[in-house]
Structure 1
Amino acid sequence: MLYKALLKPRLIEEKMLILLRQGKVSKWFSGVGQEAIAVGSTLALNPDEYILPLHRNLGVFTARQVPLGRLFGQWQGKLGGFTKGRDRSFHFGSNEHHIVGMISHLGPQLAVADGIALADLLDAQKRVTLVYSGDGGASEGDFHEALNVAAVWQLPVIFLVENNGYGLSTPSNEQFRCRSFTDKGPAYGMEAVQIDGNNILEVYGTIQRLAEDVRQQPRPVLVEALTFRMRGHEEASGIKYVPQELLTEWAAKDPVMSYEQWLLAEGVLSEIRRHQIREQIRQEIEEGLQAADALPAPSPNAATELADMYQPFEPDTTQQLPATSQQPKADKRYVDAISDALRQSMERYPELVLMGQDIAEYGGVFKVTEGLVAQFGKARVRNTPLCESAILGASLGLSIRGKKSMVEMQFADFVTCGFNQIVNNLAKSHYRWGQNADVVVRMPTGAGTAAGPFHSQSNEAWFVHTPGLKVVYPSTPEDAKGLLNAAIEDPNPVLYFEHKLLYRSITGAVPDEYYTTPIGKARLARTGDSLSIITYGLGVHWATQLADELALDCDILDLRTLLPWDEEAVRQTTMKTGRVLLLHEDTLTGGIGGEIVAWIAEHCFEYLDGPVQRVASLDTAVPFAPTLEKDFLPQQRLRERIEKLLAY
């Protein structure tokens, strides 16, 4: 019954405002005045169709029959909530109820909806995905990117903009200049509809009609629901900035009261039944609160917290390559080994989708994906618009529907345009609500090609600092293939760095068949007793070249994985030689070398025969001119620091 569904979130809100004043709830974002949108649109969809709501969409959760005890426990930070006390409000999802909650950045969820819809389209499922945006949040670039991708790919998504006139305290005329959000639809090549968001029948009927049509003819639709927020953005902010005449005007359009009065006038609802329904809902609320009160508070447990950053995963060790493997091998370039891994993983995982700019017929700017579209088709090898954030968000949506994805950054430098999706969505989803992000982000990285500040950066340290991610960085063709296969096999988000200078400059023996190299394990690239050089990527080749030149009796430890890095291997080489040098192409300050040096000082100090040294690039942007770039890179400073350490 629409009336019960509409009334329930209103009565819950009334109770929550009391609990907020009592200090039993820490924060509340009120949806009073907007309930018809959440309730009407949710009931208009099928139960197995995903909805991605925002702050004020309590009606989505109640209409999907989320148990109130658990919902209240979520708001109280209880262990039995959806995030185990790790996040608040509606910052959670429930695959059982086909709901994906928000993150505070608002806009990124629009792209996640694209990914869910793409999965349904690939699986030929006649389903629609519904995602909400506020009028304020629609000012973000994520709004444009998500709508553009959905239009280009004809994804079955309903983008529902709740236009309540304000972004927190900023009125619409300071947010945008268009007359209506329906003006935006035709510019993207999509249908746009405006509805009275306070009329439950109009909301329900329109969304139901659109959803049925979109299921049969997949495409995105933009819906603008006109409404008003009767309370503050959140309770502490108040509504002093709202003119009284606006509040009076919209109070007369209250969705709950208007629908109730209409039902009474039509004789569908009696005063007695009205009273009975309210009492039933209030009783349900009290029972839910009692259930939430009985839930235990989370007990701090560092081991549990650390473990829950990642989806538990045991790699298939039968696919890992033993040191004495007799597998047939062929000499392959670094770039060919990466391409080989993508091809074999696509064969191994039919649910794997590749996405990136120019990766289909063109084969990518470095030709890593050349030939793959001919073998696997454009549905699975997808050219994307220039929109890193939307594609990374879509990769999470694909994961929610059980698919794997590989996203290629054309250059690692461009990942900044999708940074938020990686560090706040992909990295935190499992910790927050148990949803893994089965995503590999390939990152062509590094300098040495005179490409200047925006095509040469080493930005791996940004992601090593982010719990929930894994970061790998192979230096050889064999590891390039094995680590990429392992990254794709792993159900957690992996940043895969591949040095552009190595693509066609090195070759090595690479097994022909599918295999994996274990993530988190370093490799001794050279053995010796007088010195340990700990490095990765191009640094392995710099160190090897100089060791050959100087006939150094040294260990060269290739980390291969930067998060998690191999502490035991670092410990063993430090104990063995007593002299340690950290080398990386990244700039010195804030690089991973500083972290490892600190760990050695803390855990291996008694084995050291000299101060641990760091050799890295200058703390500048990467310069363009070859002479300046050569001075920027650490290679020429490596000899001096090794000689200094050996003489200590």
Structure 2
Amino acid sequence: MNTQAKLKQQAQPASNIDTSIDWKSVVDTVLTSRTIDRLEETELVPAKKVLYQFSARGHDVAQVLLSSQLTNPMDAVCGYYRSRPLLLGLGVDLVHAMGSAMARSGGYSDGRDIGVVFNFPNQDGPKGLPMSGGVGAQYSPVSGWAQALEYRARQLGEDSSSTAIAVCLGGDGSVATNGFWASLTIATTQKLPVLFYIEDNQYGISVPSTFQTPGGDISANLASFKGLNILAGNGSDPEEASSLIKEAVRYVRERNGPCLLRLRVPRLQGHSFQDTQAYKSEEFVADEWERDPLPQLKSHVVPSVLSESEWTDMESEVETRVRAAIEAADAIPIADPATVTRDNFFEEGRLQVQGGQWAEGYVPPTSTDVPKPTSKSRLNMVTAIRATLEHEMEINNRVVVFGEDVGPKGGVHAVTLGMQDKFGEDRVFDTSLNEEGIIGRAVGMAYAGLVPVPEIQFRKYADPAVEQINDCGTVRWRTNNQFAAPIVLRMPGGFFKCGDPWHSQTNEVQFAKATGWKLAFPSNAEDAVGLLRASLRGNDPVVFFEHRAQLDDPWARRPYPGDDFVLPFGRGKMISRGDRATLVAWGAMVQRCEEAAAGLDCDVIDLRTLSPWDDEMVLSSVVRTGRCLIVHEDNGTAGFGSEIAARVADEAFMDLDAPVKRLTMPDIPSPHNAVLMNAAVPSVDKIRAELTALLEF
């Protein structure tokens, strides 16, 4: 038999080879991943060209096999810092991948994020959702994408979404996080098409997996979890891994519900390059190398698919290709420092690639900032917000409203009363009691082109969702405008008839300084309509603060300003005019400032939004009046009034006739007893006394 005939015979598939898988492509991608890891560790890290390096050796074969099963353009996957093989399998550009690892311009972050935290809009194929540096933060946005797939199939009639799936990768350490359990609850209670892909390498940095879940096996511990198909096996064995992955994907794609696949894999390098793994015994490390999936992959495909010489040729070709990519990436300059402040918010002419309705061709309807009421009847803020939500839902089938108790109950503040009956359970729905899950789900739905309007019942309850709130706000910036997540986060808070530390907090400064978030804080029904409509039609995430005291207060009632009324962010309102002092407030304090300043010849400014805020109106007023008093309900120390005072001192110091003053809550939580609460919150009498003292200075 001649050599050509022998090679042809060797290339015949063996009985245990799954011929539906392109094994040559799998080998090529795995070898690429291995070569990148090796060259980073031996050349790029020592040369300080790569500063954060996380090897994927041991995880790579199964990840690449998973990527081969993601074929629907609406499929989406979110990994973590050890998921580069998966992204390579989806087709990320090799030069961009290396350029991102080397923190060069362009690529997936323009040098703003660490190179192993990928995002991949991939308009013609499966999406790589923006990864997070926080462990477990990747889970609940994936459930949001999955719910959006169901919504797009049922409500928007998209056939492709009806067979697409959402996949989330996590290590064994991540199964202890709030994000994992939030997402698991969402996916199972709603029967969503989610694949939880758990890579168990038995260590979270140096902490054994037995500290994350009893016995170190999450699949065993979830055996009785309702509504979840569970698969588990050896991620180092290509035959077993490919079979389990195909079964898991098939199960989810056929809409049987979510599936959890746990694959045991070795971590053949430390957590990161700097990790010496001194906490592992020599025997454990030796066992890991015995389970290296690369030799097993080679045994699986040679000689059934590739000859020995073809394998060797591929190794050489991959080495050449990766080195060429590194050379090309090394020639890419560092981003211009002048551009690093771009993409905090949407900028005209710079539309994100994926996420939000604007990226899918939405054009906001014609609007006006002039109120055009059709009736003199005055609505309270609750009714005005509900009317605005209902109108925008009627004209835009991408808007969805959800949160705890927003369905049949209509919300604890009655804002969504009757809306589920009107729009159905797909568009107005209750959620599990998990704020991480509420916000994370909203982020995933926004990535998928919907307009999510999650509600957090009270400001204080947002604290468990701080990680998702941060990730949502920073995603446009850290992905170099590849992704955005424009959600409208409705959040009631502040005092009412009484106070307490749990339901009456404002702490709006936390969101005023949150990167990438706009913040609306209306004081009355008319402004609430205009700012909420601007939020729902906009292209940035918004915190829409609904002050509890103003929801049904007679002062806050206004005629409905019309269905086209939109207020731009960053434009304050002059409530009253005068020449002796400037009062600045927002929310419930506007009403009190107006009453306190009556007859004292002062400007009273309602900022209406804090991010951005109308510094031009404030500064021009202070230049004219020479005095400034800032009043807010939040604590004094590091409250938003400090930012206003600092700006006034910086830019209007020579025009001041008196020190800039602030009147705020003391640095305590809101007291429950009404007498104590009223002693703490700035009152009309306190404001007038402070203003009088300022005028007499």
TM-score class, shorter-chain normalisation, is over 0.9
Q: Quick one: distance in 2 between partners of 1:523 and 1:307?
A: 28
Equivalent position amino acid for 1:530 in 2: R
Alignment of 1:329-344 (within 5 A): 329-344=376-391
Q: Quick one: distance in 2 between partners of 1:317 and 1:41?
A: 42
Residue 468 (1) aligns with residue 516 (2): yes
**Matched-pair contact (CA < 8 Å) for 1:341–1:481:** yes
Q: Quick one: distance in 2 between partners of 1:80 and 1:179?
A: 40
Equivalent position amino acid for 1:626 in 2: A
- Which residue of structure 2 lines up, in the alignment, with residue 244 of structure 1? 282
1:310 to 345, 370, 376: 345
Alignment of 1:172-191 (within 5 A): 172-178=209-215, 180-182=217-219, 183-191=221-229
- Could you state the TM-score of these two structures normalised by the residue count of structure 1? 0.96
Q: Quick one: distance in 1 between partners of 2:366 and 2:227?
A: 50
Change (3 A) 1:554 1:89: same
**Matched-pair contact (CA < 8 Å) for 2:460–2:505:** yes
1:43 to 61, 64, 68: 68
Alignment of 1:2-401 (within 5 A): 2-18=26-42, 19-48=44-73, 49-96=75-122, 98-124=127-153, 125=161, 126-178=163-215, 180-182=217-219, 183-264=221-302, 266-301=303-338, 304-312=339-347, 318-322=366-370, 325=372, 328-401=375-448
Q: CA deviation at 1:218?
A: 4.7
Listed one character per residue, the Cα deviations across residues 150-197 of structure 1 (whole Å, up to 9, x for unaligned) are 111111000011110001001122332145211215325311110211
Change (3 A) 1:228 1:329: farther
**Matched-pair contact (CA < 8 Å) for 1:90–1:101:** no
Listed one character per residue, the Cα deviations across residues 427-459 of structure 1 (whole Å, up to 9, x for unaligned) are 100001121111011110101332411110012
Equivalent position amino acid for 1:172 in 2: S
Listed one character per residue, the Cα deviations across residues 322-376 of structure 1 (whole Å, up to 9, x for unaligned) are 26x4655531011111111111111222111111001011100011001111111
Q: Quick one: distance in 1 between partners of 2:373 and 2:562?
A: 11
- Which residue of structure 2 lines up, in the alignment, with residue 428 of structure 1? 474
**Matched-pair contact (CA < 8 Å) for 2:499–2:677:** no
2:583 to 519, 526, 533: 533
SS at match of 1:365: coil
Equivalent position amino acid for 1:529 in 2: D
Change (3 A) 1:317 1:399: closer
Residue 438 (1) aligns with residue 476 (2): no
**Matched-pair contact (CA < 8 Å) for 1:330–1:511:** no
Q: Quick one: distance in 1 between partners of 2:63 and 2:625?
A: 65
Change (3 A) 1:376 1:141: same
Aligned residues: 641
**Matched-pair contact (CA < 8 Å) for 2:665–2:682:** yes
Q: Quick one: distance in 1 between partners of 2:226 and 2:438?
A: 17
SS at match of 2:545: strand
Alignment of 1:514-525 (within 5 A): 514-525=564-575
Q: Greater CA deviation, 206-215 or 515-524?
A: 206-215
Unaligned runs of at least 5 residues, structure 2: 1-23, 154-160, 350-362
- Which residue of structure 1 lines up, in the alignment, with residue 457 of structure 2? 410
**Matched-pair contact (CA < 8 Å) for 1:411–1:444:** yes
Q: Greater CA deviation, 413-422 or 627-636?
A: 627-636
- Which residue of structure 1 lines up, in the alignment, with residue 3 of structure 2? none
Change (3 A) 1:597 1:349: same
Listed one character per residue, the Cα deviations across residues 255-314 of structure 1 (whole Å, up to 9, x for unaligned) are 0111212333x543322111111111111101211221221211110xx33331112259
Q: Quick one: distance in 1 between partners of 2:118 and 2:27?
A: 26
Listed one character per residue, the Cα deviations across residues 174-233 of structure 1 (whole Å, up to 9, x for unaligned) are 332145211215325311110211122322222222222322225211111111211100
- Could you state the TM-score of these two structures normalised by the residue count of structure 2? 0.89
Q: CA deviation at 1:606?
A: 1.8
Change (3 A) 1:185 1:84: farther
Listed one character per residue, the Cα deviations across residues 381-406 of structure 1 (whole Å, up to 9, x for unaligned) are 11000011112111111111111111
Change (3 A) 1:313 1:346: farther
SS at match of 1:86: coil
Q: Greater CA deviation, 519-528 or 39-48?
A: 39-48
**Matched-pair contact (CA < 8 Å) for 1:92–1:432:** no
Q: CA deviation at 1:639?
A: 2.0
**Matched-pair contact (CA < 8 Å) for 2:227–2:258:** no
Unaligned runs of at least 5 residues, structure 1: none
Change (3 A) 1:235 1:613: same
**Matched-pair contact (CA < 8 Å) for 1:448–1:630:** no
Q: Quick one: distance in 2 between partners of 1:100 and 1:31?
A: 19
Alignment of 1:596-607 (within 5 A): 596-607=644-655
Q: Quick one: distance in 2 between partners of 1:51 and 1:362?
A: 35
Q: Greater CA deviation, 568-577 or 477-486?
A: 568-577
**Matched-pair contact (CA < 8 Å) for 1:329–1:511:** no
Equivalent position amino acid for 2:46 in 1: R
Q: CA deviation at 1:250?
A: 2.3
Equivalent position amino acid for 1:199 in 2: D
Q: CA deviation at 1:320?
A: 2.4
Change (3 A) 1:307 1:297: closer
Q: CA deviation at 1:536?
A: 0.6
Equivalent position amino acid for 1:21 in 2: P
Q: CA deviation at 1:557?
A: 0.3
Change (3 A) 1:201 1:8: farther
Q: CA deviation at 1:553?
A: 1.2
**Matched-pair contact (CA < 8 Å) for 1:74–1:81:** yes
Equivalent position amino acid for 2:345 in 1: Y
**Matched-pair contact (CA < 8 Å) for 2:507–2:635:** no
Equivalent position amino acid for 1:28 in 2: Q
- Which residue of structure 1 lines up, in the alignment, with residue 4 of structure 2? none
- Which residue of structure 2 lines up, in the alignment, with residue 641 of structure 1? 690
Change (3 A) 1:128 1:538: same
Q: CA RMSD in A?
A: 1.7
Q: CA deviation at 1:7?
A: 2.2
Q: Greater CA deviation, 86-95 or 509-518?
A: 509-518
Q: Quick one: distance in 1 between partners of 2:376 and 2:145?
A: 39
Q: CA deviation at 1:123?
A: 1.2
